[in-house]
Structure 1
Amino acid sequence: MNQKKIGLYFGSFNPIHVGHLILANYLVEHNDLDEIWFVVTPQNPFKDKRTLLGNSYRLEMVQLCLKKYEKLCACDIEFYLPQPNYTIDTLIHLEEKYPQHVFSLIMGEDNLKSFHKWKNYEVILNRYSIYVYPRIVEGNIPEQFKENPHIIYVKAPIIEISATAIREDIAKNRNVQPLLSSEVWNYIDKWGFYK
């Protein structure tokens, strides 16, 4: 059986914007990944819950946005896992559910800086490839992550679009349409989200 290589792109996607799309599309087209799954995270303990739209709304926006991209799809696996949930648990769960796939992580350079604080990060590093895309970051990446054979640095475009800034602009009635797919913009506008 031919194993598919799946890149996992975790995020709250609150909302999903063109930066997410550009990056994921670049990664799937310029690397050996067959597909990228946008893993919509239920509730990051580090994010302000008041500005986080409900799980089903964020998932629906991701689904609407990715409809026309064959190699990109939405994944709601974390909605069904016990909270608080850790990346290692999601990876193990996905492996059990989809033994025919090989999973990799996708993360920004900024996340790599604090990766050593993740639960079981050594296990993740030994068992999975991690595709790291560039971000404008302060401080240094720990030495142990610089030459690791499982960490693949991708020369993707640096995109500094912030979902937080998009939400703030919507609240101030500023035009954010260029930053969102038309499907996502219409959905947000229809429901009056982030006002």
Structure 2
Amino acid sequence: MKVGLYFGSFNPVHTGHLIIANFVAYNTDVDSVWFVISPQNPLKPSASLLNEYDRLHLVSLAIENEPRLRASNVEFSLPRPSYTIDTLTYLREKYPDYEFVVILGSDSLENLPRWKNHELILRDYALYVYTRPGHPSPSHLGDSVTVLSAPLLDLSASAIRRMIREEKSVRYMVPDNVYEYIKTNHYYR
């Protein structure tokens, strides 16, 4: 089984994330895409992060009727901050019959040299890269990098959080059930 790992804080999960995951699940050679909810990204401030279990629940709501997408809490029990190479190593040991690939945006690819043991990631794992606005995908990386022509929405979780704080609607930017849950629980206020 080939699994695409889509790492992120998903704070909150939004339609842009879902389009990418669904595109990879149905337009590449992966069998399934796992949203790996990161409790703490070492390259991002954690002050504005919703609790990881709440973010996991929002992702689960967003993908509840999609059999090829899955929410994963694997990083919740690993040391913090979360390092991609540590999660990949753990998953490879836990699921020796699975092949894992990393799904990331071209903006994250630019930061790859700042990642812990990024050389091992490039050596041992395929990277499926979708282009983010303002961050062209490089064409000179090795065979381990596949650039996807996925449809893109220029959405950001930080903009969505700001709109919620300003009491503006984010309907259609997040799935309806996620939108209702955020409103009901007063998240990001």
- Structure-1 separation of matches of 2:85 and 2:137: 24
Task: Give 2:23's aligned amino acid.
Answer: Y
State the Cα distance separating 1:149 from its structure 2 match. 0.5
Q: Which residue of 2 aligns with 1:66?
A: 63
Q: Which residue of 2 aligns with 1:111?
A: 108
- Asked whether the 8 Å contact 2:6–2:33 carries over to 1, the reply is yes
Note closer, same or farther for the CA distance 1:140–1:108 as it changes in structure 2 (3 Å cut).
closer
- Structure-2 separation of matches of 1:138 and 1:101: 31
RMSD of equivalent CA atoms? 1.5
Q: Which residue of 1 aligns with 2:165?
A: 171
Q: Which residue of 2 aligns with 1:91?
A: 88
Q: Which residue of 2 aligns with 1:130?
A: 127
How many residue pairs get aligned? The number is 189
After alignment, is 131-140 or 182-191 more displaced? 131-140
Q: Which residue of 2 aligns with 1:11?
A: 8
- Structure-2 separation of matches of 1:190 and 1:45: 30
- Asked whether the 8 Å contact 2:130–2:149 carries over to 1, the reply is yes
Q: Which residue of 1 aligns with 2:181?
A: 187
When the two structures are superposed, what TM-score results if normalisation uses the length of structure 1?
0.92
- Structure-2 separation of matches of 1:97 and 1:61: 25
Identity %: 42
Question: Is there any run of 5+ residues in structure 1 with no aligned partner, and where?
Answer: none
Note closer, same or farther for the CA distance 1:88–1:109 as it changes in structure 2 (3 Å cut).
same
Question: Is there any run of 5+ residues in structure 2 with no aligned partner, and where?
Answer: none
Aligned partner of residue 100 in structure 2, secondary structure: strand
Note the alpha carbon deviations across 1:130-175, whole angstroms, 9 max, x for none: 000011235884xxx7241110011111321011011100111111
